[in-house]
Structure 1
Amino acid sequence: MNDLIFAGPAGVAILCAYAVVMLGIGWYAGRGNTGGTARGYFTAGGGLGMVTLFFTLYATQYSGNSVVGYAPQAYRSGFAWWQSVPFMIAVIAVYLLFAPRLYVLAKQKGFVTPTDFVRDRFGSTRLSLLTIALMLWGLGNYVLEQLVAMGHGVAGLTGETIPYEVGVVGFIVVMLAYSWTGGMRAIAMTDVMQGIAMLVGIGALLVGTMYLTGGIGTLTTYLAETSPELVGVPEKSDAVNWLAMIIMIGFGAAVYPHAIQRVYSARSERTLKRSLALMAWMPLLTTGVVFLVGLAGLQLFPGLGTEESEQLVGLIANEVAATNLVFYILMILLFGGIVCAIVSTADSAVLSFASVIAGDLYGRYIAPDAPDRRKVLVGKLVSVAMVFVLLLLAWNPPGTLYSIFVLKFELIVQLAPVFILGLYWKRMAAGPTFWGMLTGAVVAGGATLVDAGPFFGVPAGLVGLAANVAICVAGSLLVSPRSAPAEPART
């Protein structure tokens, strides 16, 4: 692998250049002293405009999974992995279902952490604590996934000139430096750079890959002749699993804590809706493109094992870069954009983790009278400690990126009823909601621990969600309703 185009000093120089730019943007964003208030640090004071909000949503949603991890999954699964496109579309559909309404309520009441809504809506300490526990689990899992993606991305794109471990540690330091100084504003501003680089680079990667393989028609013919099992009609159980994953990921990704905090960070409801309208096109322009690139890898690099295929994007990018100078420059853009977008997803999760620690645990139960500056500092310190604990796990990652990706959704999707039903159904009660969420988490987590499921193609997380909703709805119909928040005024 040492003959790859980005191996050696060239790859190191590209990564260093991107790191310097990210640090510069973080320093610039931090000049306004966003750490003065918790709302300023964690949600940019609710002042993100349409372009910045769009790119921070984009760079967060499309990161290590959708580029470094999804192409290898397409390589291993074939046409069945087209499901990655509709489940990204489902995420946007769920956003549009609840995000504008939640934004208006958050603006009126000054919400900072995702749990602020749960506390305001239900007034239940145990429900709030269970929500916090699931959020912290999901965020920790999410950061772990991105740390693994950082290592694979850097190692693959430099031909292992920069080893997996060095890549992880180096970009952790960069991420913590700029997010520490600038908070949400710094993260969102770096996301603009990362999102543009990734969009342009992915487009160039598709063009270069189709050039190398002879086009989609030639690629399809090749796959039909050499790997017919990858292009055939999926089995019934696979089709059921496809639909189940679309539902689970659609609801799960939309209620991630850092996704909800981006809803809080919008400048206006109109800004939020316009950003989400643009996001609706991104599954085809990003996940669809990566799907095709993964299939092309079967022709360009046949016979890769599971571990080898995890570096597929780096292998293909280097082949495309070797074509001519233009593609080389564009692959530089992609190269840095992929790694930086992985970092952008990690920093968003770390920031959200810090906000939950600072606002929901320390600021509410340990030191309610502490000033905002101390709360923010505590959140920063605890989140940094969390990152380095997860680093020990990333040193020996517990499976492929996709297996890690599925694991976190099994539990985080249990938050969907409290946010979505809680916004629209006034009769929804705290007690049944708590027991429903707990039951769903136990079912999903227990099945994962004993390695059970999927059940007839349905993942354990969705089985748990069904139990969650059933208990929540039936129980709420049997108890006296608690008054829901007043209908928010539109902006």
Structure 2
Amino acid sequence: MDLAFSGWSGVLILLAYGLLMLGIGLVTYLKNRNIHESLDEYYLGGRGLGVMVLFFTFFATQYSGNTVVGYPATAYRQGFEYLVSVPYFIMIIMAYLLFAPRLYAMGKKYKLITPAQWFEKRYKSKAVTILASLLMLYGLGNYLLEQLVAIGQGVSGLTGGTIPYQVGVIFFVVIMLIYGWLGGMRSVAYTDTMQGIALLVGIFMLLIGSIIYFGGLPTSADYMQAYSPEKLGIPDGPGIVNWFSLLVLIGIGAAVYPHAIQRIFAAKNERTLKRSFSRMAWMPFVTAGVVFIIGIIGINAFPGLSTGESEQLVGMMASSIASQNTVFYWAMILLFGGVIAAIVSTADSVLLTFSSIISNDLYGNYINPEASEHKKLLVGKLLGVVAVGILIIIAWFPPATLYQIFILKFELLIQIAPGLILGLYWKRLRSKTVFAGMVAGTLVASVMTIFDLSLLGVASGLWGLLLNTVICIVGSLVATVSAVEENEMKEVIGI
């Protein structure tokens, strides 16, 4: 993210964003002194998030720094084929609507704090709960790593190298830990609202500047027709299969993000949840659609970039636009400050849920069931800090592009979907088949991913999910179920 024009002005903007986040955390703590005595208060904001705050915290969960920085780079490399990135986010909303209202009702009925608690309540199986928790922790750790890499790249680019990559990571991680520690979910949701507004304003200013100074889509289309006609074409058969594969993988995978599910539990009521989703339905066009166009315009603006160089595309475009006049200069500075704030806000959401699964589902259930809520919170916070420390070491030398890191986590996280979603509606679904399905799906997805195996161009995670789902359904249908057991399950999932 090369934004070398900014230098010390970038440093000042980042300091301003950092201080604002700290201020939000401090004010939240002063207004809610009992926040550290209750898991409900700390992890779910007392289940009282209203429409606007809930909307922006969902927005921050879906549209992180990867969307603004990584997606235009991918559009640059693939051309119009990457228009599929817009339906990715439409699929996520559709997947939410399959289960979110029902899961909200379950969360309210049983006072659930984490998605792992639903597995425990529904299946009454230690094996299922622990396996689901581990898969969720894997996905969350992977996602947090992605955000840490993006923070470092963003800070280094915005300050023109004045603040090195590693220093940027540590600075904002410390900021995130402090305000998250102080205010929990409320701090996270309020910072999400702040960064969401900044991000929306910034990307539209970048789009306007790109159209004015680089000629817009028609100019890029003319350039591609002359020099890169392959970027104008539609994908072939295998390409279409890959499109559909990623649509399903990302649509379901992102919808079952544990930190997204916690936001479902945190809604003030079901009407608030549905109103937030109705607003989210427009965001694929407003956000993913806009950054796709920016990436396409970049093909003409900066032709011939390598894969590594294209990862810096947004910074290069912003730097060029900012040099045109003062208005765009400060708009681009604010944009990248907003991008980094967005990345940090996504990271804090992930860390909060990561801590809640450790403290409530693993430590509280199986290690020290007699622990007070205060002690569970403390354990979750401390182990969360340890996890961040380990991920910082990995992020010090990032292993892949942002897009590759983004895709990796879905292969295993998606394996919780059958047990989570089917279990909300089907009373016959059994704990043993859910466990067997998750194990089989995880093994298939892991082996195919590790050894880079491909079958019909379909993502390895989907082959795992298919096997997982078949085992769950067929195994539950052939299993002998007593009338007592069936009535118990019917009572659990009844509203």
- Matched residues in 2 for 1:333 and 1:172: separation? 20
* 1:25 and 2:24 aligned: yes
CA-to-aligned-CA distance 1:250-306 (integer Å, 9 cap, x gap): 100000110100000000000000001100100111111111111122212222222
Going from structure 1 to structure 2, the CA distance change for 1:349 and 1:324 (only over 3 Å counts) comes to: same
- The alignment partner of 2:10 has SS state of helix
User: Match for residue 486 of structure 1?
Assistant: 491
- 1:104–1:489 contact (8 Å) kept in structure 2: no
* 1:272 and 2:273 aligned: yes
User: Match for residue 474 of structure 1?
Assistant: 474
User: Match for residue 95 of structure 1?
Assistant: 96
- Matched residues in 1 for 2:161 and 2:71: separation? 20
- 1:56–1:188 contact (8 Å) kept in structure 2: yes
Following TM superposition, where does structure 1 have runs of at least 4 consecutive aligned residues deviating by more than 6 angstroms?
487-490
User: Match for residue 144 of structure 2?
Assistant: 143
- Matched residues in 1 for 2:493 and 2:253: separation? 25
Q: Calculate the TM-score normalised by the size of structure 1.
A: 0.97
CA-to-aligned-CA distance 1:81-106 (integer Å, 9 cap, x gap): 11111011100111111001100110
The one-letter code of the counterpart of 2:489 is: A
* 1:85 and 2:70 aligned: no
- 1:2–1:161 contact (8 Å) kept in structure 2: no
CA-to-aligned-CA distance 1:97-147 (integer Å, 9 cap, x gap): 100110011011110111111111111110111101101111110100111
User: Match for residue 182 of structure 1?
Assistant: 183
Aligned pairs (5 A) from 1:91-490: 91-453=92-454, 455-481=455-481, 482=485, 483-486=488-491
Residue-pair matches, total: 488
Consecutive unaligned residues of structure 2, counting only runs of 5 or more, are: none
- 1:194–1:337 contact (8 Å) kept in structure 2: yes
- 1:104–1:488 contact (8 Å) kept in structure 2: no
How many Å apart are 1:489 and its aligned residue?
Answer: 7.9
- 1:101–1:488 contact (8 Å) kept in structure 2: no
How many Å apart are 1:485 and its aligned residue?
Answer: 4.9
How many Å apart are 1:212 and its aligned residue?
Answer: 1.5
> Percentage identity across aligned positions?
52
- 1:187–1:348 contact (8 Å) kept in structure 2: yes
- 1:157–1:313 contact (8 Å) kept in structure 2: no
The one-letter code of the counterpart of 2:23 is: G
- The alignment partner of 2:491 has SS state of coil
How many Å apart are 1:487 and its aligned residue?
Answer: 7.4
The one-letter code of the counterpart of 2:491 is: A
How many Å apart are 1:222 and its aligned residue?
Answer: 1.4
* 1:15 and 2:20 aligned: no
How many Å apart are 1:155 and its aligned residue?
Answer: 2.0
How many Å apart are 1:175 and its aligned residue?
Answer: 0.6
- Matched residues in 2 for 1:233 and 1:100: separation? 37
RMSD: 1.5
Going from structure 1 to structure 2, the CA distance change for 1:100 and 1:2 (only over 3 Å counts) comes to: closer
The one-letter code of the counterpart of 1:14 is: I
- Matched residues in 2 for 1:189 and 1:314: separation? 27
- Matched residues in 1 for 2:37 and 2:148: separation? 29
How many Å apart are 1:2 and its aligned residue?
Answer: 8.8
- 1:157–1:315 contact (8 Å) kept in structure 2: no
- 2:2–2:157 contact (8 Å) kept in structure 1: no
The one-letter code of the counterpart of 1:122 is: Y
- 1:157–1:317 contact (8 Å) kept in structure 2: no
- Matched residues in 2 for 1:310 and 1:3: separation? 12
- Matched residues in 2 for 1:323 and 1:223: separation? 25
How many Å apart are 1:472 and its aligned residue?
Answer: 0.5
- Matched residues in 2 for 1:80 and 1:163: separation? 35
The one-letter code of the counterpart of 1:18 is: Y
Consecutive unaligned residues of structure 1, counting only runs of 5 or more, are: none
- 1:152–1:310 contact (8 Å) kept in structure 2: no
Q: Which moved more, 1:457-466 or 1:207-216?
A: 207-216
- The alignment partner of 2:361 has SS state of helix
The one-letter code of the counterpart of 2:210 is: T
- The alignment partner of 1:136 has SS state of helix
The one-letter code of the counterpart of 1:231 is: L
- Matched residues in 1 for 2:363 and 2:490: separation? 26
- The alignment partner of 1:484 has SS state of helix
